[in-house]
Amino acid sequence: MTDKRRLEDLAIFGGNAAFGEALHVGRPNIGDRGRLLGRINQSLDTKWLTNNGPLVQELEHTISEMMGVRHCIAVCNATVGLEIAAQATGLSGEVIVPSFTFVATAHALLWQGIVPIFCDVDERTHNIDPGQVERLITPRTTGIVGVHLWGRPCDVKGLEEIARKHDLRLLFDAAHAFGCSHEGTMIGNNGDAEVFSFHATKFVNAFEGGAIVTNDGGLADDMRLMRNFGFAGYDKILRIGTNGKMNEVSAAMGLTSLESLDAFVATNHRNYERYEQNLAGVPGIHLAPYASDERCNYQYVILEIDRDMTRLSRDRLQEILWAENVLARRYFYPGCHRMEPYVSSPAQSVLSLPNTEYLALRVLCLPTGMDVNVGEVDRVCDVIRVAVAYGDEINERLDHLVARGTIN
Ligand SMILES: *Cc1c(COP(=O)(O)O)cnc(C)c1O
């Protein structure tokens, strides 16, 4: 094990890397392998591999119960889930979304010819700012898609009020917020519908998968049809649809993940607290907090770096960590509005999103999950502590290396 105390101990300056094997963000959590394989065998035995099979139905039922929500429609991934929810709620024209999110939130809209209009976030919560939403409403606006970033609920009440006042539809991208609550109610019960992701990197996974949840029965019926080409019987098509079905192997993984949900959350929580304790005294560094009186999944450990205090930019800290084999990630840099095709679209050019740009330069996502233990968290924190302690010196040395063309 390496001990990081001095500048020379850092791998970027020739020290031994803190980790022999890469420490990843979003390494898949895998539940009980025996239970998973049992379920897959069951599916192979019955030869019911997809098309609303028994495992998909069981997954939907389990999620509905957990969330206390009336309807759950399992889908092949959250992006298609968002597309189906957008179609089913009649979104068109312009829809207001935060820019500080995974790009799928915006792509799901534009893929269907709906123009995402990017809204700034609150610098404290990282979530869409309802105060800014209202200013972006035009006669073409049909809805709002809120995102519960990092699993921290966005201002649901504020958005609901605006949606009601302006007669807009309201969806939530809840890809990060599975198993989280807001004011005592499970996420999944807000707006017209909410969409979860069970992608392999999410803390509950189904290899690929997602779920749309809603308390609106009419909407649920429509979305079920849309998920399966609009089929209402063996040869009866009622409407346009797509192929958004979840297969049985994914449902088997989803159900198996849910059985371990408490263990996943407990590990994430333990790691989060360990990071928090270790980094408490480091000037200019703090972790995005979770509400202790709500249910949280703690799946993202989000470091905020105040460059004026650390003397070290987020990008330099990331370079230092990568040299140690700690693959910390710049989620969600640089913000959707700075990516193609949005950055080149005239609709976006008038927007100013200062909080999004501020956060996109200061946030770093650290490794956690079932594959990260507290000893590893301690070693990651040692690197951060040394890096910040020698901020100015590190800058000088790295500037020198950049000037010599040794590094970028
Ligand atoms: C992961 C993610 C998605 C996309 O989910 P998929 O299941 O991979 O399609 C959408 N929005 C956010 C915020 C995400 O993090």
**Average pLDDT by consecutive 10-residue portion of the chain (408 residues)?**
84 96 96 98 98 98 98 98 98 98 98 96 98 96 98 98 98 98 97 98 97 98 98 93 98 98 98 98 96 96 96 96 98 96 80 93 98 98 96 91 79
* Ligand 1, pocket residues at CB < 6 Å: 77-79, 101-102, 104-105, 147, 173, 175-176, 197, 199, 210
**Residue 402: per-residue pLDDT:** 85
CA 200 to ligand 1 centroid distance, Å: 10
**Where exactly does CATH 3.40.640.10 map onto the chain?**
33-259
Mutate to test the pocket of ligand 1, among 25, 76, 79, 194 (most ligand atoms within 8 A of CB): 79
Mutate to test the pocket of ligand 1, among 82, 173, 257 (most ligand atoms within 8 A of CB): 173
**Residue 43: per-residue pLDDT:** 98
CA 77 to ligand 1 centroid distance, Å: 8
Strands (E), 284-406: 285-287, 301-305, 326-327, 363-366
Q: Class assignment of domain 7-26+261-328+367-404?
A: alpha beta
**Where exactly does CATH 3.90.1150.10 map onto the chain?**
7-26+261-328+367-404
**Residue 1: per-residue pLDDT:** 52
Q: How far is Cα 133 from Cα 193, in angstroms, rounded to an integer?
A: 19
∠ CA 223-228-229, rounded to 5°: 100
**Residue 174: per-residue pLDDT:** 98
Residue corresponding to tokens 């009186």? 293
**Residue 347: per-residue pLDDT:** 72
Q: Which residues pair with 214 in a beta bridge?
A: 71
Taking CA atoms only, the protein residue closest to ligand 1 atom 5 is 78
Domain 33-259 maps to which CATH number in 3.30.450.70, 3.40.640.10, 1.10.1040.10, 2.40.30.10?
3.40.640.10
CA 102 to ligand 1 centroid distance, Å: 7
CA 13 to ligand 1 centroid distance, Å: 37
Pair of tokens at residue 227: 């998920």
Residue corresponding to tokens 């959707």? 336
The answer for residues whose C-beta is within 8 angstroms of residue 72's C-beta and 6 or more apart is 59, 60, 61, 63, 64, 211, 212, 213
Q: How far is Cα 150 from Cα 139, in angstroms, rounded to an integer?
A: 32
Residue corresponding to tokens 């710049």? 330
To the nearest 10°, the Cα dihedral for 397, 400, 401, 402? 120
pTM of the full predicted structure?
A: 0.97
Tally of CB atoms within 10 A around 251: 26
CA 79 to ligand 1 centroid distance, Å: 6
